[in-house]
Structure 1
Amino acid sequence: MEYIYLLIAFIFGFGFRLLNLPPLIGYLIAGFILNVWGIENNDTLQTIADMGITIMLFTIGLKLNIQDLLKREIWVSSILHTAIWVAFISAVFTLLSILGLPYFVGMEPSTAALIGFAFSFSSTVCVVKILEESGEGKTRHGKVAIGILVMQDIFAVLFMVFVTGQVPSIYALLLFLLVPMIPLFHKLLNESGHGELLPLTGFIFALGGYQLFELVGIKGDLGALIFGILVSGHSKATELSKSLLSFKDLFLIGFFLTIGLTALPTLEIVFIALLITFLLPIKFYLFFILLTKFRLRARTSFLSGLVMSNYSEFGLIVAAVAVSVGLLDNVWLVIIALSVSFSFVFTSIMYKNSHNQYKRHKEALKKFQSPVSLKEDVYPHMGKTKVLVIGMGRVGKGAFTTLAKLMEHGVTGMDADLEKVNALKEEKYEAILGDGENIDLWENVDISNIELILLALPSIEDSSNITNQLRSASYKGKIAAIARYEDEVQPLLDVGVDKVFNFFTEAGLGFAEESFEMLSK
């Protein structure tokens, strides 16, 4: 990629980052700027863009949990949402065609349905980024959102496979031999270590899967996804995904630049993109209604629907494939690109205050909630808990196990990650599944006997939010929390935390004290 491409992409990406918005909006604008300067798409940039899509599909496969996808609330709601949304968009576009709006006049129903399909996806990049930044990737609503995203990604890959009209070779049947080769793939991952060889192994899997499927007449994108699934059960799958994250994001810059180089937006195009963006509340409402109908709690449905109220870069990919085979006009790539950008701004703003929004409207929202909860949503019992540790990361687990040994009874650990909770139970510790930011949880469990709650969370916003909810639920005991920096201590004390431990200062003090004791032995 020429230096000017990187420089312009960096300037606009960095600018949007300073505005606390996704940098990829800046990359799209950078593509438009380069287009104005007369720069055209080229083979090098297109190759980089294609590689970004391939790596993205491989990393999606790495995160895929078949058991989660088989849950009815995931796969049925995903199918229904896509079908209803496509029908809704088709009806809206037909109406706009009748009204004579530019780019809609004379639009065929099949074209309207195709565009509706492109807009049915929610953004994997946007949703995962928001969930990771808020520490909610392993929460109930986070896992529901990611499960639906994976289902949508599968729909997109299947579309890209079938729309090209390729007839697979008879040798495609040999691909089933990949299943007995899974132990070999796992062995390769085991031996790849934790350094630079690990992401290189990921590249070999992703690009190898792409090329192998292309050889037998199947779209290579599906091959990248399948290879990700084949190694998703390995213990290093998460580490591999993280090691590829920066490469994936860097290559996807090429994809967003190519969209900007396709065509330039006019005022009419911007207006249409904004009009489509205004439909996002309906997308949220549809998610919320469907999820509550499948017996998820109102809070889970609300947060899952809100974080998925956006349009997807995958919709752009689907549209790009449709353009390449003549099913869609180039101008819709620009409209979709702008709509995706506007939708990211919408979600970023709306989700920032999502927990407080739910708290304000929870009584109205809970009217949609089923009286019978799913097994995963049953509230835990605190039993004879005297000390509750929330957050089973390295710090939280260390504090919890130490207290459990000192007190023997009455210490309970809580985390929103089921895997962490099950691991503690296997070690014979008292552990419960729960999201500390869930106001419904504190209002439905007996916390009157708890004397001390430790908030071992990396985000002071999360700790502040939980403290406010505990006090709102009439908790009378003590609250302790951790802070990473000195300027985080006072804000926690101001919201009602009784004791704040500066993580780095206290860790250094403990290290020094225990090391000094060695001198007297």
Structure 2
Amino acid sequence: MEYLLLLIAFLCGFACKFVSLPPLIGYLVAGFILNALGFSSNETLVSIANLGITVMLFTIGLKLNIKDLIKREIWFASIAHSLVWILVCASILFLLSFTTIGYFTELSFAQMALIGFAFSFSSTVCVVKILEESGETRTRHGKVAIGILVMQDIFAVLFLVFATGKVPSVFAIGLFALIPLAPLLKKLLFEAGHGELLPLCGFVFALGGYHLFELVGVKGDLGALIFGILLAGNSKASELSKSLLSFKDIFLIGFFLSIGLTALPDMQMTLIALLLTLIIPIKFILFFSLFTQLRLRARTSYLASLVMSNYSEFGLIVAAVAVSANMISDQWLVIIAMSVAFSFVISSILYKNSHNQYQSFKDALRRYQKTKALPEDEYPSFKHVDVMVIGMGRVGKGAFNALSESLNDAVCGMDADVDKIKKLNESGLNAIVGDGENIDLWENIDISNLKLVLLALPSIEDSSNVTQQLRNANFSGKIAAIARYEDEVKPLLQNGVDEVFNFFTDAGVGFAQESKAILEQQKT
């Protein structure tokens, strides 16, 4: 049975990838196919799905700066959006109760508000997966989206406490002792090294946080998130996150399958789920309006709103608790599950081309942004430079440091990660905060003297998007990019990159050249 689950998940995921759709859509479809074939969820699959969510929240915490949550655009937007959305959604359900559709006519206003609350969440799994695949978790809109997701997770925890009547024990106060223990946790992480002990250390922390919080009556997933936050900022946090990436992706397949295996809907349930999916644009409009009113730039507001325009797995958890407490009927759990699945498909498809969408509508969208931007959204300025390196990961930083030795301030580094740029600036290096895929950035800084741009980005999609934005901004210099695999070279060249360096091949050539230089020195 387990092999059949994997086989169908693989085939559906591969089919979606073949038509340029995210594989997660295929996993959702696989769940419904398996359901139709008579399969049902089991304890093993549920455990895998829960493990995937736990590890995912832990890795979110590893990348999270707690200071981001206390920003007004995060906490105020989260609270305001939830309240307005619940009112709007309940009102729509109230209007639908005047129809002859039984599922709506049987609802009380309290139940309508509860369903609106379940739909108020955006999917942590879907949003983080989309942002990671596009390399945008550290961008301004990525941080805004993740910050709001964390706030929504907190709302869900509070609901579960009140709905289930499960009150944290008095020992929950002792959890505050974790704060002074953070240095010890970071020390343990550092001593784990770089091998198989590192991801094992990650699982110990993630699951340890989960069970510790459960032990004192607090939702375990919050514990995994908190443990990740305690380790954030450590030099090994990024490496740990990458070491857990493949594990997390495999476990989350179980989560997507479990949604499809929740129940097999009838035609009327499917139509109602589709109808409720059609109101998602209202969620987008609410987010966009709030973000622009809070002085976020139009592009940040658009991308963050778009990626958040979906329903959430936490909505399913809320609905499941409500069903168990006899607050709503179990049919609504199926309808909400279907709506969540449909919203994943729509969100994944729409965001795939989001940067080009903004390029098309940017003039209309900019009319809604405030004249005075937030301080951290001010466009950077830099001295006259000849070379810019975009992406301050290991490869980009290595290239940047090497070029800085000979070109000094004539080379400039760029990355969306504020912390990375801050460390480079403190070392006296010329680097700026910026998102290379942001056409607004290129239109508001002077690149007329720039001769060469090096793209050291994690995916060819990122490099292709940056290349397109540079060309749209009339950049006439040369663009070079790195590729991890041979089959990535041709697509980059076709998308306008002038020179592509195969990371592994050219690293080997460089190693050989350095070795030959050592031999020559020995001869002399």
Same fold (TM over 0.5): yes
Question: How far does residue 212 in structure 1 lie from its aligned partner after superposition?
Answer: 3.4
Q: In structure 1, what is the Cα distance between the partners aligned to 2:444 and 2:489?
A: 30
Matched, 1:510 2:510: yes
Matched, 1:357 2:357: yes
CA contact (8 A) 2:56 2:125 kept: no
* Distance change (3 Å), C-alpha of 1:329 and 1:251: farther
Deviation sequence 1:106-139 (CA, Å, 0-9, x none): 2112211221122122222222222222222211
- Report what 2:281 is aligned to: 281
**Match for residue 391 of structure 2?**
391
Q: CA deviation at 1:76?
A: 0.7
Deviation at residue 370 of structure 1 after TM alignment = 0.5
Task: Could you tell me which runs of 5 or more consecutive residues in structure 2 were left unpaired when the two chains were aligned.
Answer: none
Is contact 2:161-2:167 (8 Å) kept? Answer: no
Moved more, 40-49 or 142-151: 40-49
- Matching residue of 1:216: 216
458-467 or 324-333, which moves further after superposition?
458-467
- How far 1:180 moved relative to its partner? 3.3
Aligned-partner Cα distance in 1 for 2:64–2:365: 30
- What residue identity is the alignment partner of 2:303? L
Cα shift readout 1:307-329 (whole Å, capped 9, x = no counterpart): 22222222222222222322232
**TM-score scaled by structure 1?**
0.90
1:465 matches 2:427: no
Residue 101 (str. 1) matches residue 128 (str. 2): no
Q: Structure 1 217/498 Cα, relative in aligned 2: closer, same or farther at 3 Å? A: closer
The verdict on how the C-alpha distance between 1:175 and 1:515 changes in structure 2, with shifts beyond 3 A counting, is closer
- After TM superposition, give the deviation of residue 449 of structure 1 in Å: 2.4
- What is residue 235 of structure 1 aligned with on the other side? 235
Paired residue type of 1:293: Q
Q: Provide the secondary structure at the position in 1 that maps to 2:104.
A: coil
In 1, distance between residues paired with 2:435 and 2:125? Answer: 23
**Aligned pairs, number:** 521
Q: Secondary structure at the match of 1:103?
A: helix
- Could you tell me which residue of structure 2 aligns to residue 317 of structure 1? 317
Q: Which residue of 1 aligns with 2:114?
A: 114
Cα pair 2:259 2:341 within 8 Å, conserved: no
CA RMSD between the two structures: 2.8
Match of 1:155 in 2: 155
SS in 2 for 1:368: coil
| Residue identity in the other structure for 2:309 | S
Counterpart residue type for residue 518 of structure 1: I
Does the residue aligned with 1:104 lie in a helix, a strand or coil? helix
The alpha-carbon deviation at position 279 of structure 1 amounts to: 1.5
User: Residues 259 and 333 of structure 1 are in contact (CA less than 8 Å); yes or no, is this contact kept in structure 2?
Assistant: no
**When the two structures are superposed, what TM-score results if normalisation uses the length of structure 2?**
0.90
Q: How does 1:83-482 map to 2 (within 5 A)?
A: 83-482=83-482
Render the CA deviation track for 1:258-306: whole Å, top value 9, x for unaligned. Answer: 4444421111111111111212222112111111111111111111111
**Retained in 1: the 8 A contact 2:386–2:452?**
yes
- Matched residue SS, 2:127: helix
Give 3-state SS (helix, strand or coil) of 1:100's partner. coil
Do the aligned residues in 2 keep the contact of 1:161 with 1:222 (CA within 8 Å)?
no
- 2:101 and 2:482 map into 1 onto residues whose CA distance is 56
Aligned counterparts of 1:396 and 1:433: Cα–Cα separation in 2: 14
Aligned 8 A contact 1:313 1:340 in 2: yes
Contact 2:384/2:410, CA 8 A, preserved across alignment: yes
Contact 2:262 2:337 survives alignment (8 Å): no
Q: Percent sequence identity over matched residues?
A: 67
Q: CA deviation at 1:14?
A: 4.4
Gaps of 5+ in 1: none
Displacement of 1:366 in angstroms is: 0.5
Q: Secondary structure at the residue paired with 2:79?
A: helix
Assess if the C-alpha contact under 8 Å between 2:206 and 2:227 holds in 1.
Answer: yes
User: 1:244 and 1:510, CA in 2 relative to 1: closer, same or farther beyond 3 A?
Assistant: closer
Deviation at 1:383, TM superposition (A): 1.9
- The answer to whether the 8 A contact 1:102-1:268 is kept is no
3-state DSSP class of the match of 1:385? coil
The AA in structure 2 aligned to 1:374 is L
Q: Aligned with 1:371: secondary structure?
A: coil
- Residue 432 of structure 2 aligns to a residue whose secondary structure is strand
Retained in 2: the 8 A contact 1:262–1:330? no
Distance across 1 between alignment mates of 2:28 and 2:494 = 42
